[in-house]
Structure 1
Amino acid sequence: MVATKEDFGHHISQQFNEDLGKVHAQFLAMGGLVESQVANAIHALLDTDAALATSVQENDAQVNAMETRIDSDLLQILALRQPAASDLRMVIAISKANTDLERIGDEATKIARLAKTASEEGESPRGYTETRHIGNQVRLMIREALDAFARLDVEKAFQVLQADAEVDREYQTATRALMTYMMEDPRHISRMINVLWVLRSLERIGDHARNLAEQVIYMVKGADIRHVSFDEVEKQVFSK
Structure 2
Amino acid sequence: MTECSQQGFSNEMAQARQRVQAISSLALQQFQLALQAYSKHDAGLAQQALNQLQKAHDFEQAMDDHCLDMLSHSASGGELRLVLALLKAISDIEYICGQSALIAQQALLAANSQPQAQQLAAINTLAEPVANMLTLALAALQQRSITQAEQALSLAPTVNRCYGAILRSNLDNTDNLAGHLDSALGVNWVARALERIAEHSANLAKHAIFLAKVSSGQSLRVELQPRRR
Query: TM-score, normalised to structure 2's length?
Result: 0.88
In the other structure, the counterpart of 2:44 is 51
Letter of the structure 2 residue corresponding to residue 227 of structure 1: R
Distance 1:209 1:182 in 2: 31
In the other structure, the counterpart of 1:75 is 68
Q: Work out which of the residue numbers 66, 80, 98 in structure 1 matches 2:59.
A: 66
Q: How does 1:55-204 map to 2 (within 5 A)?
A: 55-78=48-71, 80-122=72-114, 124=116, 126-204=118-196
Q: CA deviation at 1:178?
A: 1.9
Aligned residues: 219
> CA distance change for structure 1 residues 70 and 31 in 2, over 3 Å: closer, same or farther?
same
Distance 1:127 1:198 in 2: 11
Q: CA deviation at 1:73?
A: 0.5
Distance 1:142 1:13 in 2: 33
* Structure 2 counterpart SS, 1:211: helix
Give identity over the alignment, percent. 25
- Say whether the 8 Å CA contact 2:115–2:187 is kept in structure 1: no
Cα RMSD between the aligned structures?
2.1
Q: How does 1:1-80 map to 2 (within 5 A)?
A: 13-78=6-71, 80=72
Distance 2:115 2:134 in 1: 30
Structure 2 residues not aligned, in runs of 5+: 214-219
Letter of the structure 1 residue corresponding to residue 97 of structure 2: G
- Say whether the 8 Å CA contact 1:37–1:56 is kept in structure 2: yes
* Structure 2 counterpart SS, 1:127: helix
Distance 2:103 2:12 in 1: 35
Distance 2:105 2:202 in 1: 24
Letter of the structure 2 residue corresponding to residue 51 of structure 1: G
Q: CA deviation at 1:121?
A: 3.3
In the other structure, the counterpart of 2:226 is 226
> CA distance change for structure 1 residues 161 and 122 in 2, over 3 Å: closer, same or farther?
closer
Q: How does 1:201-220 map to 2 (within 5 A)?
A: 201-220=193-212
- Say whether the 8 Å CA contact 2:126–2:163 is kept in structure 1: yes
Query: TM-score, normalised to structure 1's length?
Result: 0.84
Distance 1:70 1:86 in 2: 19
Q: CA deviation at 1:152?
A: 1.5
* Structure 2 counterpart SS, 1:121: coil
Distance 2:116 2:45 in 1: 16
Distance 2:184 2:4 in 1: 54
